[in-house]
């Protein structure tokens, strides 16, 4: 209750802001993307609170799965104009309107494919330290490790615990989903991986232990896209935004031009070079932040809540972009569809620790996870099934 606001996770800040508004007992409640970055448990709590709200409720959102049981009317805006005023049932059943306005979520009903089993997360490298802990497993012969943490701890300046005894590794080209309740330590772990936070323990890049000085160079090898991508966009044009990283690497003007062109093309933003980033849509800013990271040609990219606040059309485009990246990826997300579609491995965090590290296929079948950290991913499945049944009836 007395934790400083700046030490809260993004999801915790959202819940605190919501509590502050509810305490005033308003007659009209306007919510802008209320469930973005919330874990499934708190999304369900929000939904129950909003269902019981007796006043007028206006929700600005793309998440029709969340809105369907809450809202009676759905107003669709396009280019600043009101295009449709449906009942929610009519909108969800109006396939052409959903498609025309980028709200068609039917791609989420498609088969997500199979996943290959992944190895255990703790490959103990003997040159870092020695002890008789049986949980340490020797790295398999010939196996390449890109980035690894061993017994890594981090606390904030006021001694608030961030992460505790983190042991995991990621291989070149591997995709890991990192999940956990709001405040579990996911974003803190990501900040440690890119060198923004310096904790205690062993951090290795390509099997070499990193000194504090070299950790400051990790930004050249590990890219990140923050939960709110606008937080990392500060240049007056898209070209300058994407060129900023390569310029800090002291590359030639010709190489910088080539990297900017290539990165913008990869995220389908060619022709946006002179656009002002903060005047772009949320989905476009997200893709621009990805381009800025890719322009430095990292070996690993970390995306923190990549689907938050995106409409279905932007989500589908983002999936296609990420699916074709030839580098390692860590996806911090609560989105089961993204996890299933893109990840090989799933790591579950709870109260700053890793409690699961297994193949994504095994995660999707894990019926005991809720008992450990309260995350009930069946909630989203119920929403999908309800709307899928509705589409089949129409």
Question: Which one is predicted more confidently, 189 or 392?
Answer: 189
Residue 383 lies in a domain: no
| Per-residue pLDDT tens digits for 243-270 | 999 999 999 999 999 999 999 999 999 9
Quick check: 220 pLDDT over 70? yes
State the pLDDT confidence band at 176, using cuts at 50, 70 and 90.
Answer: very high
Strands 222-225 and 137-138: unpaired
Please indicate, yes or no, whether residues 153 and 92 belong to a single structural domain of this protein: no
Question: Which one is predicted more confidently, 358 or 36?
Answer: 358
Please indicate, yes or no, whether residues 295 and 189 belong to a single structural domain of this protein: yes
User: Which pLDDT does position 371 carry in this prediction?
Assistant: 60
Please indicate, yes or no, whether residues 278 and 233 belong to a single structural domain of this protein: yes
| Per-residue pLDDT tens digits for 363-377 | 988 877 766 666 766
| Per-residue pLDDT tens digits for 126-152 | 455 555 554 444 454 456 899 999 999
What residue spans of 1-111 are helical by DSSP H?
A: 10-22, 40-52, 64-67, 88-93, 95-100
Quick check: 46 pLDDT over 90? no
User: Which pLDDT does position 109 carry in this prediction?
Assistant: 61
- Of 227, 204, 220, residue with least CA distance to 331: 227
State the pLDDT confidence band at 393, using cuts at 50, 70 and 90.
Answer: low
Contacts 24+ apart (CB under 8 A), 249-258: 249/220, 249/296
Distance between CA atoms of residues 100 and 116, nearest Å = 36
State the pLDDT confidence band at 304, using cuts at 50, 70 and 90.
Answer: very high
Please indicate, yes or no, whether residues 238 and 362 belong to a single structural domain of this protein: yes
Mean pLDDT of 227-255: 94
Please indicate, yes or no, whether residues 54 and 195 belong to a single structural domain of this protein: no
| Per-residue pLDDT tens digits for 324-346 | 898 999 999 988 888 999 999 99
Residue 381 lies in a domain: no
Please indicate, yes or no, whether residues 80 and 170 belong to a single structural domain of this protein: no
User: Which pLDDT does position 299 carry in this prediction?
Assistant: 95
Please indicate, yes or no, whether residues 17 and 151 belong to a single structural domain of this protein: no
Residue 382 lies in a domain: no
Residue 124 lies in a domain: no
Residue 120 lies in a domain: no
Please indicate, yes or no, whether residues 175 and 302 belong to a single structural domain of this protein: yes
Distance between CA atoms of residues 346 and 353, nearest Å = 14
Mean pLDDT of 110-127: 44
- Say if residue 88 is exposed, middle or buried (CB neighbours under 10 Å; 0-12, 13-18, 19+): middle
Quick check: 114 pLDDT over 70? no
Q: Residue 293 belongs to what H/E stretch?
A: helix 282-294
Final residue belonging to a domain, choices 110, 127, 159? 110
Mean pLDDT of 84-104: 80
Residue 128 lies in a domain: no
Quick check: 6 pLDDT over 50? yes
User: With DSSP H G I counted as helix, E B as strand and the rest as coil, what are the percentages for the chain, rounded to 5?
Assistant: 40, 20, 40
Please indicate, yes or no, whether residues 282 and 179 belong to a single structural domain of this protein: yes
State the pLDDT confidence band at 103, using cuts at 50, 70 and 90.
Answer: confident
In order of 4, 246, 317, the CA distances from 242 in angstroms are 34, 8, 19
The range of the structural domain enclosing residue 303 comes to: 147-373
Please indicate, yes or no, whether residues 96 and 203 belong to a single structural domain of this protein: no
For all residues of the chain together, what is the average pLDDT? 84
Distance between CA atoms of residues 83 and 105, nearest Å = 19
Please indicate, yes or no, whether residues 96 and 153 belong to a single structural domain of this protein: no
Backbone angles phi and psi of 30, in degrees to 5: -110, 120
Final residue belonging to a domain, choices 110, 128, 159? 110
Residue 176 lies in a domain: yes
State the pLDDT confidence band at 5, using cuts at 50, 70 and 90.
Answer: confident
User: Which pLDDT does position 113 carry in this prediction?
Assistant: 40
Q: Residue 191 belongs to a domain with what CATH number? A: 3.40.50.300
Say how many domains are in the chain. Answer: 2
| DSSP type of residue 158 | T
Residue 116 lies in a domain: no
Final residue belonging to a domain, choices 110, 138, 165? 110
Please indicate, yes or no, whether residues 203 and 282 belong to a single structural domain of this protein: yes
In order of 125, 135, 282, the CA distances from 150 in angstroms are 9, 12, 36
């Amino acid at each position: 209750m007395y934790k400083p606001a700046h030490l809260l996770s993004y999801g915790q800040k959202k819940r605190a802001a919501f509590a502050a508004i509810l305490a005033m007992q308003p007659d009209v409640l306007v919510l802008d993307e209320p469930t973005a970055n919330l874990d499934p448990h708190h999304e369900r709590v929000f939904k129950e609170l909003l269902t019981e709200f007796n006043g007028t409720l206006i929700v600005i959102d793309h998440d029709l799965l969340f809105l369907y049981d809450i809202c009676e009317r759905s107003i669709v805006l396009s280019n600043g104009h009101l295009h449709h005023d449906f009942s929610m049932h009519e909108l969800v059943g109006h396939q052409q309107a959903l498609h025309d306005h980028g709200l068609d979520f039917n791609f989420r009903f498609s088969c997500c494919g199979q996943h290959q089993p992944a190895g255990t997360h703790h490959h103990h490298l003997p040159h870092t330290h020695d002890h008789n802990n049986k949980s340490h497993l020797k790295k398999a012969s010939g196996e390449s490790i890109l980035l690894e943490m061993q017994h890594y701890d981090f606390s904030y300046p006021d001694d608030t615990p961030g992460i505790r005894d983190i042991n995991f590794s990621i291989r070149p080209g591997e995709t890991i989903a990192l999940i956990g309740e709001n405040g579990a330590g996911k974003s803190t772990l990501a900040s440690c991986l890119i060198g923004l936070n310096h904790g205690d323990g062993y951090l290795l890049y390509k099997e070499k232990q990193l000194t504090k000085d070299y950790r400051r160079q990790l930004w050249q090898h590990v890219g990140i896209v923050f939960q709110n991508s606008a937080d990392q966009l500060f240049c007056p044009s898209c070209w300058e935004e994407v060129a900023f990283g390569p310029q800090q690497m002291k590359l030639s003007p010709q190489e910088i031009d080539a990297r900017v062109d290539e990165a913008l093309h990869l995220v389908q933003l060619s022709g946006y070079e002179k656009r002002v980033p903060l005047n772009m849509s949320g989905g476009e800013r997200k893709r621009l932040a990805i381009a800025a990271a890719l322009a430095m040609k990292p070996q690993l990219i970390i995306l923190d809540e990549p689907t938050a606040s995106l409409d279905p059309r932007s989500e589908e485009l983002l999936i296609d972009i990420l699916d074709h990246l030839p580098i390692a990826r860590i996806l911090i997300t609560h989105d089961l569809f993204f996890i299933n579609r893109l990840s090989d491995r799933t790591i579950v965090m709870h109260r700053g620790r890793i409690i699961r590290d297994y193949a994504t296929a095994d995660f999707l079948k894990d019926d005991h996870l809720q008992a450990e950290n309260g995350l009930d991913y069946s909630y989203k499945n119920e929403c999908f099934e309800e709307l899928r049944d509705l589409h089949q009836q129409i």
